[in-house]
Amino acid sequence: LNGSWQALLLRAMVRKKGSFILCGAFLFVAWNALLLLYLWGRPPIGRLGEGAGPSKVVGGGNLAGEVMRLAEEVEVQLEKQKELLKQIESHRAQWARQKDVGKREAGGGKSLKEVEQKTPAMEQTKAEGKQKKPTEKLVATTTSEAKIGLTKGTGTAENKLELTSSSSPQVVIPVLVIACDRVTVKRSLDRLIQYRLSAPLHPIIVSQDCGHADTARVIRSYGEQLTHISQPDLSDIRVRPEHRKFQGYYKIDDLEVAPDFFEYFRALYPILRDDSSLWCVSAWNDNGRDALVDPAKAHVLHRTDFFPGLGWMLTRDLWAELEPKWPTAFWDDWMRQPEQRRERSCVRPEISRTITFGRKGVSLGQFFDQYLRYIKLNTEFVPFTKQDLTYLLREKYDEKFIIEVYSAPLVRIEELQGGKLREPGPYRVQYSSRDSFKVFARNLGAMDDLKSGVPRTGYRGVVSFLYRGRRVYLAPPEGWTQYDTSWS
C-alpha cells in the first residue's frame, strides 16, 4: 500500500514538474512572438515622417543609427525576458518549499486531526469521565502546530484548541467547546467571547453532543461569533457496568475562564513548542484553593509532572502520537500513565485560569461543595506575552528549583501546625512513603491522591503550596530520581 501511494505521489510530482516546465516554455515563446509581431508592425526603416507622401531612401548614416536604435530596443526586450525568467524561477522555488512543508506535515501526522478538541482544545474533565470519539470531525489546517484543551471531567466534554503555523508571527488558536444539555454553556461562551484577543486569531467552535434543543438554541444565538457543529452519534456511552455511575461526567460545559486566559496560552506556545520535555500547558492548579495559593503571585508559573486537564494546550505532533491509541473512556487518567506521559511535564499557573461553576452532576454537588467551589480564579490580567518565560525551560528551571526546595529548612508537620515557626518560609516537609505523603498532604490541606505514583501538582516528587501564608514544599528525600508507579 505504501509503495502504491509513493508511486502515485511520484507520478503527481512528475506531472506537476512537467506542467511547470511547459508553462514556462509557453510564456517564453509567447513573449518572443509578441516581440516579433511588434518589430514587424513598425514602419519601414526607409520611411521618413508620418505622412503618406512618397518614400525616400535615407542615407547610410541614418540607416546605421536606426539599426543601432533597433538593437538597443531588442536588448531592452531581452532584459525584460530575463526578468520574467527570474520571476518564474523564484516562484518555482517557493512552490518547492510549499511542497516540502506539505510533505513534512503529511508525514507528521494526520493533517490536524479533527477537532475533538483539546486547543488550542479546551477540555473539561472530571476525575472519572469518558471520552467518546466523535464521528463527525472538524478538520484543521495543515499548518496547525498545537492544540489547547479546556478539560473538566473525563468525557466527551473534551475541548481542543488548534495552533497554526509556528513560522507565522500571528498564531491562530481556535477554541473548541464541547456542550451537551446545559443552557449554562452561555456563561462559558460569554466569557470566551469577552476575553478573546481577536476573533480571527481565536475562532470558537462549539461541538454539541446531546442534541438538546434549548442548548442548541443558546449556541446558535451567537450567530457568526462562533461555529456550531452537532455530534451525529447520540447513543449512550458504553462503559463497564461498574462505571455506569460515571456516565454523567462527560456532560459538562461549565468552565469559566480568566481575563488573561488567551494571553496565557499565547505566551506559552513558544515554550511548549521549543522544550521537548514539555507536553502540555494547563490553565488549572489542582491545589488552587484560595488558602493554598499566593494572591500576590498571579504571574508565577510552575512545571508539573501531573497532567492537570481543565483547559490545556498540546502540540499537533503530540496529538498525532496519541490519537491512534486514544481510549474509549477515562482518557484523563490514561494521559497520566507512564506509557503516555513518558517523563514529560506540563506548565501550570500558581492561580488557576479556569474554574468550574457547575454544581449539578453525578456526585450530587458533594465534590463541588467540598473542593471545587474554593478554587481561586485569577482576576488580574497578566501580560505574559511581554514577559521572559524562558525560566520554564527544563535546564534553567530544574537547577533553581532543586536549590530552592532543598535549601529550605526541614521541619516537622507539628511545627507548622503549632505556629511555632517565626520565619516567613519557605519550609520543607519530607515524606518517604506513599502513606506518609497522603497523611501529610491531607493534614496540610493539599490534594492527597496520586496517579501512577505522581502527586497532583507534583514536580520531581515535590508538591508546592501555601500553608497559613508560608510556602511549603512537601518533598521526597534529596536525590530523588523517579516515581514509584505502585503509589496510586
212-259 confidence digits (pLDDT tens):
899 999 999 999 999 999 877 777 666 666 555 555 444 445 789 999
Higher pLDDT among residues 407 and 249, named by residue: 407
Cβ neighbours around 75 below 10 Å, total = 10
Instruction: Specify which of 81-85, 164-168, 205-209, 402-406 reaches the highest per-range mean pLDDT.
Output: 402-406
Query: What grid cell was written down for 305?
Result: 509532572
pTM for the structure as a whole: 0.67
d(CA 382, CA 259): 9
Instruction: Specify which of 1-15, 48-62, 364-378, 403-417 reaches the highest per-range mean pLDDT.
Output: 403-417
The residues pairing with 208 across neighbouring beta strands, listed in sequence order, are 179, 230
The residues pairing with 151 across neighbouring beta strands, listed in sequence order, are 158
Catalytic residue at 332? yes
Q: How confident is the model over 364-381, as pLDDT tens digits?
A: 455 566 677 889 999 999
Which of 95, 283, 254 lies closest to 173, judged by CA? Answer: 283
Cβ neighbours around 209 below 10 Å, total = 23
Residue 419: per-residue pLDDT: 82
Residue 476: per-residue pLDDT: 98
Q: How confident is the model over 7-46, as pLDDT tens digits?
A: 444 455 545 555 656 666 666 666 666 666 665 555 554 4
Residue 1: per-residue pLDDT: 45
Higher pLDDT among residues 248 and 152, named by residue: 248
Segment holding 280, helix H or strand E: strand 278-282
Q: Is 82 helix (H, G, I), strand (E, B) or coil?
A: helix
Q: Looking at 305, 332, 333, 448, which residue is catalytic?
A: 332
Q: What band does 446 get if pLDDT is binned at 50, 70 and 90?
A: very high
Q: What band does 270 get if pLDDT is binned at 50, 70 and 90?
A: very high
The helix/strand count (H/E) of the chain reads as 12, 16
d(CA 141, CA 200): 14
Q: What band does 85 get if pLDDT is binned at 50, 70 and 90?
A: low
d(CA 58, CA 3): 72
Q: What band does 316 get if pLDDT is binned at 50, 70 and 90?
A: confident
Query: What grid cell was written down for 374?
Result: 474554593
Q: What band does 178 get if pLDDT is binned at 50, 70 and 90?
A: confident
